[in-house]
Structures are given as structure tokens and as C-alpha cells.
A and B are shown apart, each in its own frame.
Chain A
Amino acid sequence: MIENGGLVMSGVFSPTRARIKERTLRTDKWWLQPAITFGVLFSFVIYATFRAFENKYYFSEPLISPFYSPCLSAACEPGTALSLFGQPFNNKYFGIGISPALFILIFPLGFRMTCYYYRKAYYRAFWMSPPACAVAEPHTKYTGETRAPLILQNSHRWFFYAGLVFNVILTWDTILAFRNGDKEWGHMSVGTLVFLFSTSMLWMYSLSCHTCRHTLGGRLKHFSKHPLRYKAWTIVSVLNHKHPTFAWISLFGVASADIYVRAVASGAIPNLYFF
């Protein structure tokens, strides 16, 4: 790097490169995509943080917000134990008053934070590294994902496994949503539909994940020796094309499930039953 009258002469301004003073000569709206990503992700983070600390309006028989499921702490609202595991953790370990969502959200958020697609999205939108293709980034130092904390991105597969566990739990929650407020089976409400949508999109998001693709077959050297895994890999590869789409839809899905539960639990709207 050479300092020259306050101008940092590195990257595209290095002395050997063509002398062009613009950071980019792109004439299209290259800033639009990162700006939208920033706006949407940022809103989600604000909303999720607010909801995680709110610690109420997350349960209304039979719907439990995905932000609070599985509600394993004894601090949870009564009735949420209809979730799979009961509530084995008592307040000795988890101080009263701390929202159970804080312990739960670590996993799905960790899955999304280390996701190969979201990494692209937020490196571009939040860290501007780079803001868009062929647009010079503002940083002069860069170590990529070789050092802490970013080297932890390599833990994606553990969050993927955890994410699968959560998908199973949320699937159970969705099945429970086929009951009514009196725990009778065979009913269906708007909440059921919202949950069905949210959970199925979460499954699509997880199954289309790069780690899933790798684990199922990508790591093999000879597909021909593992025909079933090759088949699975082929299917996941097709889904993998749509991974970014599933990432966004499932984010909206899970947020809308929570918003819906909050609205019902706070009494703003009733959970409308079809039958």
C-alpha cells in the first residue's frame, strides 16, 4: 500500500494497474441488491431481537411460536410443554426472567449465519466485502475466513444437524396445529396453514443446503459405487440451485409464523378455524 496525498494506492488503485480514478465504472444499479438485502436482514434482526426479549405472546393453544419452540425451560408459559420433550430444565440453571427464546434462537440463527448463501449476502450487504462485483471494497486489510472469528464458519455442518432436529420439532408443532384450543384432533385453522408453509419451507431450506449436498453424496469420489447416494445428491443438487430462494422464503415463513402467533396470543386477532 502506498499513501499518496491521502489516497490509498492499493487494489484497483495500485501503481501497476490502469489509471482509472473511479472505484467502479458500472452504470447499472449495482447498489440496489445489497441495499435491499441490508434492509430486509436488518429488519429481521431487529424484529427477532425484540421478540426474543419480549418473552410473552408466544403461545396460544395449539400454536407455539417457532422462536420459542421447543420451550424446554420451566420458565415457559404453562401449556407449551405439549411440545415434544416436556420441560426438564428448571430455574436453577436458567435464571427466571431470561427469555427461553434466547437459548433456542442460537441454533437456527447459527445455521443461517454460517449458511453459504447468507454469508455471501451479508458479506456484501453489511461488510461491503465487496459491495458488488467489480466494485472496489473499502477495506485495505482482508483475511477472509482464515482467522477467528470467521474461521468458525466451518462449523456450518453442526448447525445443519441441529437445524434438522429443530425441523423435526417444528414439524411436530405443525402436526399439533391440527388440533383446536381444546386439544381435539381433526381441526384446521389459518394458523395451521401458516405453520405448514413455514415448516415446509424450513425443510426445503435445510435440504437444499450445501452441507446437505456434500454429506449425501458430494464428498464421494465415485458416484457409480453409490447409486442411492448419487440419486440423493442429484435431487439435492436441483434444490441447491434454489437455495437462496428457499433461504429468503423460509425466513419470511418463520417470521410470519411468529407474527401470527403473537397476534393471536396477544388477542389482536382470533385464530380463524376452517373446521
Chain B
Amino acid sequence: MARMINLRIWRGDSTDGALQDVQVEANEGEVVLDVIHRVQATQIGDLAVRWNCKAGKCGSCSMEINGKPRLACMTQVAAYGAEETITVTPLRAFPVIKDLVTDVSFNYRKAMEIPAYAHPTDLAPGEARMEQIDVERSQEFRKCIECFLCQDTCHVIRDHEEKKKSFAGPRFFIRIAELDMHPLDTLRNRKKTAQEEHGLGMCNITKCCTEVCPEHIRITDNAIIPMKERVVDIKYDPVRWLGAKIRKREGIL
């Protein structure tokens, strides 16, 4: 059954913009991205929106719906009341380009700053052996679809523009955790650089990243806090520090 809904879309660019009200038809089972597409095809031909797979797998259609960072393709129209106006805006932590599209290049710059995986030099192709239980922790983080909703909601990035330089953000803390927990990675200073270069200490674990993650990755509990504990091991725990000096223990710098 089709019905008319009230949609309020932010339109504009980096110079100016405003919320614009539109009325659009919505069918049963449709998601917010569907109605945005209908607006595009029938009312505002040049309405800018980023999207790809429409199945929650690529992480392109990130936007804020009624103020919450969400994927438009995974947000059912039916989740909102019949009389409710659905407000859609671009991500508010990044520079806006046009309408619902923002410049997320910050995240790609950060990706380039995280040292890549370092494979053991003495392992030939096909020789690697890893137990399933040893790869599972990192596999959880590799589910990340890079929608950057966690980056958008993280108040360090969102509310403190000047911190963007020294803070990598939750997406890249899970990347660091993934590599530090990778059974074969040979780079040993990831904990130290996480704290000193990528701003792990800036995180005050308020968990918004975990709340918005569409892949339900437990970013805070499984990546950030374990990394913070690992940092304590090497930087703030004299006993562990001494222990590591005496016998070169696994997992410690």
C-alpha cells in the first residue's frame, strides 16, 4: 500500500543550505533510500546522494536520519510514525559537498597513515597456518564496510575539528586492533604508535561508535578497550614493562 510521507531533506553545498520539505510516495517495505531515489527521479533531478549496493554491504549511503547516523538503505520508512516527518541531512562531521554528499577523504588519509600488515619473511605462499580461534578476533573487525558512521558520530572528530590531525578515529582503531591481533603480523610497535601517533588516548570510550555500527562490530569492547589495555601493558604498567624487559614475551613490544 502506497502512502504519502513528509520528507525534509537538507539541500545545499559548502556555501549555504537549508532543509527542504517534500511530499513523496512510499510503498510497503521501502527504505529511506528508496524514497530519496523517488524524489530524485520525479521531483529533484539533481539531488545528490551517494549509494551503491542498497543491501547494507558497501557502506556508501551514510547520512543522518532524524539526527542519527545511519545507512539509508537499512532504514525502513515504516520505522517512523505515519505522521512523523523524516529529516535527512548529510553527515555532520565532514565537509559537505552537495546535498547529502560529504567529503569523506579524511578517512582515506587516515587509512594511509596506519602501517600495513607485515607478513613473516620466511613464510612461502601456502605455508601459513592459522587456527580459526586465532583469526576470529581480527575477522570481526574485517567485517567493517567503511561506512564511516563511527567516524561521524565520534565526538572527537565531530565536535573538535582541530583534533582531526592527531586522531585516527574508531574505524582505524579497529584496523590497528585487527593487525595487532593478527596471528602472523610481525610489526611490533602498533600499541605504541596507536597511543602516540593515532590518538588512542583521546578516545573517552563513550561508545557511540559501537551504537551506530551497522555491522554490529563491538568496536569499543573488542577493539578500543583491548588496545587501551595493551597500551597500559607497555606504557603505564611498571610490572609488565619490567617483565617484558627481562624476557621478551609474546605480544609485547
Contact = CB atoms under 8 A, between A and B. Distances in A.
A210 B131 CA distance: 24
A129 B204 contact: yes
Contacts of A25: 64, 66-67, 87, 89
Contacts of B102: 18
A136 B131 contact: no
B154 to A, nearest CB: 9
B159 A16 contact: no
Interface residues of B, number: 64
Contacts of B199: 144, 146
A17 B94 contact: yes
Given A157-B237, A222-B134, A116 B205 contact: yes
B21 interface: no
Contacts of A119: 204-205
A141 to B, nearest CB: 8
Interface stretch (A95-103, A194-202, A213-221, A254-262): A213-221
A140 to B, nearest CB: 8
B68 interface: yes
Contacts of A16: 14, 95-96
Interface residues of A, number: 56
A92 B67 CA distance: 60
B215 to A, nearest CB: 17
B155 A137 contact: yes
A19 B201 contact: no
Nearest to A244: B207
A153 to B, nearest CB: 9
Nearest to B211: A133
A130 interface: yes
Interface stretch (B22-30, B115-123, B225-233): B225-233
A133 B68 contact: yes
A138 to B, nearest CB: 9
Nearest to A132: B208
Which 9 pairs across A and B sit closest by C-beta, in order of nearness? A26-B67, A25-B67, A144-B202, A16-B95, A133-B208, A11-B159, A214-B229, A224-B131, A146-B201
11 contacts: A11-B161, A12-B158, A17-B94, A19-B12, A19-B17, A19-B18, A25-B89, A119-B204, A144-B202, A154-B236, A214-B225
Given A154-B228, A220-B251, 16 more contacts: A1-B162, A20-B10, A20-B17, A22-B67, A25-B67, A27-B67, A116-B205, A134-B64, A134-B67, A135-B67, A144-B156, A144-B201, A151-B201, A157-B232, A218-B226, A241-B221
